[in-house]
């Protein structure tokens, strides 16, 4: 059924009462200058998008519960990016979504022969998880579409240099008006004259109260339960591949079995990583759909070639007591 705001017409003076958006800047603190687009809908969902960081999802609030992990750096603008080695972590706030790539995902690698024929045939170093999550978006659409029943945001993100990779990523985010659901569609294009290495990873992160001891994760035949937090708990990363050519849905559930978040990834994202850092004062649980295994296992896109990716996130209800 097509969604319409007609049911609210006699109850409101402005559509902002039930659905709308606001573009604002962070003033003060580590996030000073950051550009945030906030969108809200009649279902009680409110989404903060970082316009100057690839339109990534800073947070989602659903009926007062925050989905998205707030990391120790606080909100950070793209200008604080440290591209070498593991410097990416210095500006990794987490949020619900941090996009990684587009030329590399995983741990840093050094002295890789460049495929872009730079002067002097210099080698290239790739820092952890690439650069795209620190690239600003040009907003091209911001529409409340009653015919389709979504609030649509679209932006173009560019990554490149004269003798390095040259990508464009067209990102479309649709937030449903009649259900707590967000769909992200990305079209990545090699805009350079030569083939270029390419990989993408969607770093989805949740914290308290969604992440807690006993929280469960399942995807296909894979199962995981978050352990009790300790001060020295080791980081855990597991690779859960989906079947070739098929979409995969992963779910996060409360200890009692209520689904609070599901993520459906397109067949073009055949790899899924489970990430958990169950340490006190950290407590983060992550799902990471990816186009490739980690580190240096990437594909190459010919000049003008594109890749299409999709994530669909659906949110359930969680009471604070359910995670205690």
> Taking the model in full, what pTM does it have?
0.94
Give DSSP secondary structure letters for 254-287. -TTS-EEEEEEE-TT--EEEEEEE-BTTT-EEEE
| 121-147 confidence digits (pLDDT tens) | 889 999 999 999 999 999 999 999 988
* pLDDT of the residue at 294: 62
Question: Strand, coil or helix: what is 78?
Answer: helix
Residue 223 to residue 250: CA distance in whole angstroms = 10
CB 97 within 8 A of CB 48: no
Looking at the predicted structure, is the pLDDT value of residue 323 above 90? no
CB 305 within 8 A of CB 221: no
Looking at the predicted structure, is the pLDDT value of residue 54 above 90? yes
Residue 255 to residue 265: CA distance in whole angstroms = 24
| 56-109 confidence digits (pLDDT tens) | 999 999 988 899 999 999 898 888 888 899 998 999 999 999 999 999 999 999
Mean pLDDT of all residues in 3-10: 78
Residue 55 to residue 48: CA distance in whole angstroms = 9
Residue carrying structure tokens 């200008």: 79
Question: Which two structure tokens, joined as six digits, stand for 16?
Answer: 């902002």
| 157-171 confidence digits (pLDDT tens) | 999 999 999 999 999
């Amino acid at each position: 059924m097509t969604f319409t705001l007609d049911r609210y017409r006699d109850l409101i003076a402005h559509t902002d009462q039930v659905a709308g958006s606001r573009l604002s800047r962070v003033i003060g603190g580590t996030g000073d200058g950051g550009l945030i687009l906030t969108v809200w809908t009649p279902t009680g969902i409110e989404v903060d998008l970082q316009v100057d960081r690839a339109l990534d999802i800073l947070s989602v609030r659903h009926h007062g519960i925050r989905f998205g992990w707030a990391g120790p750096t606080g909100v950070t603008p793209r200008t604080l990016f440290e591209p070498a080695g593991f410097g990416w972590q210095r500006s990794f706030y987490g949020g619900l979504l941090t996009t990684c790539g587009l030329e590399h995902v995983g741990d840093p690698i050094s002295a890789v022969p460049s495929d872009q024929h730079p002067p002097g045939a210099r080698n290239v170093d790739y820092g952890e998880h690439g650069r795209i999550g620190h690239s600003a978006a040009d907003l091209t659409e911001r529409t409340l579409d009653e015919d389709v029943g979504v609030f649509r945001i679209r932006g173009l993100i560019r990554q490149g240099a004269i003798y390095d990779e040259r990508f464009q990523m067209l990102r479309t985010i649709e937030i449903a008006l009649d259900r707590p659901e967000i769909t992200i569609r990305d079209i990545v294009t090699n805009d350079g004259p030569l083939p270029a290495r390419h990989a993408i990873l969607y770093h989805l992160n949740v914290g308290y109260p969604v992440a807690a001891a006993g929280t469960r994760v399942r995807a296909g035949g894979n199962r995981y339960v978050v352990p009790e937090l300790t001060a020295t708990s080791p980081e855990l990363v597991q690779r859960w591949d989906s079947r070739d050519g098929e979409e995969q849905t992963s779910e996060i559930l409360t200890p009692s079995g209520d689904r609070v978040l599901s993520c459906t990834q397109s067949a073009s994202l055949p790899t899924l990583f489970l990430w958990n850092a169950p340490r006190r004062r950290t407590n983060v649980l992550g799902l990471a759909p990816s186009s490739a295994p980690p580190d240096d296992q990437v594909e190459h896109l010919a000049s003008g070639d594109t890749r299409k990716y999709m994530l669909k996130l659906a949110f359930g209800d969680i009471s604070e007591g359910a995670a205690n």
